[in-house]
Structure 1
Amino acid sequence: MSGYPSAVTDQTWPWPTGAATGIGSLPGTDIAEAQRIVLGELPVLPHLPELPARGPGADLVGRTGGLLVELPVELYAARWRIAPRPGRDLRRARDLMERDLDQLAEQADGYTGPVKVQVGGPFTMAAALELPIGGRLLRDPGAVRDLTDSLAEGLRGHVAALTRRLPGAAVLLQLDEPSLPTVLAGRVPTESGLGAYRPVPGPDAAAALRTVIEAAGVPTVVHCCAPDVPLEVIRSAGAVGVALDLGLLTELDPLGEAIDAGLGLLAGAIATSPPSAGPAPTSAQVADRVRQVWDRLGFPRSRLARQVVVTPACGLAGATDGYVRAALAACRDAARRLADEV
């Protein structure tokens, strides 16, 4: 494809040159060990790991639900829904988060670089949470607005809590929005499976995301591990970057336009589980994959290691401990390789 003008040569992004990070989830139930792995393998851009194997409240929806303000959630028939009052499920989710933050404060004491935290975005939450009367929040635009405002307020407190524990660190927020493309396209099925909820217009989605991003008050990336990532919506919302799976890219032009406009890229360049035969990809192979996409976009190599963060394709909750270490190390060393080429 044709190259793009180097319009953002003086721009900076909220991560060091040659950075790598994880997307979020890891296997197991030992948060102390998970944080040791992340801090050891990803020293310049660690993230707060999520361990969904710990059960309800450690999953994406329950964990984010614990951050909501004046909108309590509970488990009902193995699904999260809005509750009439705070209860045991909400206390568990909040307790798990508090323990995670306390453990991070202990292990990363004195850390002064960027640290990434992940929460569910408003539309993925609206597509997953159920109303007390049944049906997803997505069916009610007023409920989606309430959820967005509640999440925005909750993230103010979440960022403040992390900043108190790591006063020298700079928080980078990641909004996980795997459901965003289906929400925009009107493809989220109703409970009967016979219909789908109305599509959310792109400008409305961008406005809701912007509400959350501005309330958090820190640089924010949007992660979407799905085809057809809505890059224009994400950019319009004020995100500093997008996290996506390079293996799901079908058209490069929209990504090129977004990068040319200054959007950072968290490039998912290594699979979430090992290949059926053979070891995990090497750092050289991971670097090659990122470099090939960048070169096809036509951007100068001098921008690559500044604008791009190397990551796994998505969370690693289903991987073995050995593969997790190998994958994170490959991302880290690939990012260093790309930085050394500048």
Structure 2
Amino acid sequence: MSGNVFSSLTTGLGSWPGTDVREAASIVLGELPALPHVVELPARGLGADTIGRTGALMVDVELDVRTSGYRVAQRKSLAGRRAEDLLHFDLDVLEELWETGGFAATHRVLKVQAAGPFTMAAQVELRSAHRVLTDRGAVRDFAGSLTEGLRQHCAELRSRLGVDIVVQLDEPSLPAVLAGSLSGVTRLDPVRAIPEPEALELLDSVLVGVGVPTVVHCCGADVPLELIRRSNADAAAIDVALLTAGDLDAVGEFLQAGKTLLLGLVPSVAPERIPTWREVAAPAVTLIDRLGFPRSVLATQVSVTPACGLAGATPEWSRHALELAGNVADAFQDAPDSL
């Protein structure tokens, strides 16, 4: 793949409402010709959520479920089998649609999503009930398992569909990991922060190891854009509404580094009044103007997404959100200086 495959397009961030994977995949393939993604339907329950689904991708790591959440298991559990079955079913449906819907002739790249190494280490427990994050050796093992699992996942999709694959690492827990603000089993057992140099090294081990273009997605507040800029990620996906004045320098340096911002501009749930595409585009235009960049940057280094996943939206709004995002991206491409 030449250039930055994430630049100047519309894509979704992964999750979708409902439980019908065939309908969801059909909509995503139809609405996102430049960069469709493998859909995630967490409403199906256990194993369909981000953590369970990522666990199904990992190699030589098995997860089970306790009342507190996911926990490392000694052997494959019912929860693990369910997660694997859901994933395999989704890929079978995707392959069928790819062949019968004519998408093979028009689609060249597909995006897959998985929880990143820090979010997995933060949200999964060891058998001792402590977070994986509390054991640096276990964190490294998790990162290695995730890397190999993603490599195999990408290879399978390339074989099935004949397309290039890109990977999105979802890291909602990364800010808390860096800040050391995650709770331990007790107040006397805090979870230490991971220093940025160590975090950067671990993140890069996954980003480089998967062997395909990558984007790091963090749609919460306090996104560590400086860390992502220094990493091997090609792009960062963020919610533009959560940026503060203190984030501007980091955003500017990110763009100066030649990387792409996937800006979450479209609301993830339907607002009381449906915005026009110009209203949706306005925060991105304002951001670029404040940074002093030419608006042509909108056409070369900015892509458009919903603010976060669409699992909490209605099916009607989810489709409309992608249409709005597409209209904004087209305007960025066609006439950014006139916005």
Q: TM-score, normalised by structure 1?
A: 0.92
Deviation of 1:156 (Å)? 0.8
Greater alpha carbon shift after TM alignment, 98-107 vs 258-267? 98-107
Cα distance in 1, alignment partners of residues 26 and 199 from structure 2: 37
Distance 1:163 1:205, change over 3 A: same
- 1:13 corresponds to 2:4: yes
Same amino acid, percent of matched pairs = 49
Residue of structure 2 aligned with 1:135, choices 109, 126, 130? 130
**1:199-218 matches, cutoff 5 A:** 199-218=193-212
1:15–1:114 CA contact under 8 A, matched in 2:
no
Greater alpha carbon shift after TM alignment, 215-224 vs 303-312? 303-312
Residue of structure 1 aligned with 2:151, choices 156, 165, 176? 156
- 1:59 corresponds to 2:54: no
2:261–2:303 CA contact under 8 A, matched in 1:
yes
- 1:283 corresponds to 2:308: no
Greater alpha carbon shift after TM alignment, 246-255 vs 102-111? 102-111
2:42–2:311 CA contact under 8 A, matched in 1:
yes
Deviation of 1:307 (Å)? 1.2
- 1:73 corresponds to 2:63: yes
The aligned residue for residue 234 of structure 2 is 240
Residue of structure 2 aligned with 1:86, choices 59, 64, 76? 76
- 1:262 corresponds to 2:263: no
Supply the RMSD in Å over aligned alpha carbons: 1.5
1:110-152 alpha-carbon deviations (Å, 9 max, x no partner)? 1442211110000000000000111110111111011111111
Distance 1:78 1:139, change over 3 A: closer
Q: Which runs of 5+ in 2 are unaligned?
A: none
The aligned residue for residue 5 of structure 1 is none
Cα distance in 1, alignment partners of residues 107 and 40 from structure 2: 22
User: Residue type of the partner of 1:128?
Assistant: Q
Deviation of 1:74 (Å)? 0.9
Deviation of 1:226 (Å)? 1.4
Q: Which runs of 5+ in 1 are unaligned?
A: 1-10
1:253-273 alpha-carbon deviations (Å, 9 max, x no partner)? 111011101121000012211
Q: Secondary structure at the residue paired with 1:265?
A: strand
The aligned residue for residue 165 of structure 1 is 160
- 1:180 corresponds to 2:170: no
Q: Secondary structure at the residue paired with 2:150?
A: helix
Q: TM-score, normalised by structure 2?
A: 0.93
- 1:322 corresponds to 2:313: no
- 1:147 corresponds to 2:142: yes
1:267–1:310 CA contact under 8 A, matched in 2:
yes
Residue of structure 1 aligned with 2:30, choices 34, 37, 40? 40
Deviation of 1:223 (Å)? 0.3
1:16–1:44 CA contact under 8 A, matched in 2:
no
Cα distance in 2, alignment partners of residues 306 and 334 from structure 1: 14
Deviation of 1:158 (Å)? 0.8
